[in-house]
Amino acid sequence: MNVPFYEKIWMWVAGGICVAFAATVLITGIGGALQPPSHVETIDPTQVFRDPRFAHPGVRVDEHGTTVITVGMMFAYVPAEIRVPVGKPVTFRMTSADVTHGFLIVGTNANTMLVPGYVSQFTTSFPEPGEYLIVCNEYCGLGHHLMAAKLIVTAAQP
Ligand code: CUA
């Protein structure tokens, strides 16, 4: 097959772009330890606060570790302030009481959608103590830009 010289150049450029796109996904995904929430668990979005799993949002510590129960709704998170220990695995269990919201802890790999009808769950840990901003990164209505909360990662007990 006779492929003209300039066409060969463009084929290599197109192939290179495909490789670059795939590498971007792999490097950010594996390098940043990003992972899609893996638990497929449903909930009635109209009954979130009556559901025993979400009736008492907040931080729970037991023999399994730290679990954060959070509900997103227009235009706030419940609870608005979350305290977790540094360097320990923390499992977030979250859902939405109305429309689709986002849940991004700025500067960390914690980032998921809160989809009404589903429970989003992931486990991560925070190596640095400090205050982190939690923001909604899915447009959810007129107050979207006001939807935020605070994560406080506390230093280990002496
Ligand atoms: Cu909630 Cu945007």
Give yes or no for a contact between 86 and 154, defined as CB atoms under 8 angstroms apart.
Answer: yes
Rounded distance from Cα 44 to ligand 1 centre (Å)? 19
Name the burial class of residue 91, with classes exposed (0-12), middle (13-18) and buried (19+) by CB atoms within 10 angstroms of its CB: middle
Q: What is the pTM of this model?
A: 0.76
Rounded distance from Cα 136 to ligand 1 centre (Å)? 4
Residues pairing with 134 in the sheet:
105, 149
In the block, tokens 């991560």 appear at 124
The pLDDT value recorded for residue 39 is 62
Name all residues whose Cβ lies below 6 A of ligand 1: 75, 101, 136, 138-140, 144, 147
pLDDT tens digits, one per residue of 3-32: 899 999 999 999 999 999 999 988 887 876
Take atom 1 of ligand 1 and give the residue whose Cα is closest. Answer: 101
The pLDDT value recorded for residue 30 is 80
Q: Of the candidates 34, 30, 35, 45, which has an alpha carbon nearest to the alpha carbon of residue 114?
A: 45
Rounded distance from Cα 96 to ligand 1 centre (Å)? 10
63: alpha, beta or left? (left if phi > 0; alpha if psi -120 to 50): alpha
CB atoms within 10 A of CB 132: 19
Rounded distance from Cα 10 to ligand 1 centre (Å)? 42
Q: Of the candidates 66, 133, 148, which has an alpha carbon nearest to the alpha carbon of residue 101?
A: 148
Give yes or no for a contact between 120 and 103, defined as CB atoms under 8 angstroms apart.
Answer: yes
The pLDDT value recorded for residue 32 is 67
Helix segments in the chain, DSSP class H: 5-26
Q: Which ligand 1 atom is the nearest neighbour of the CA of 73?
A: 1
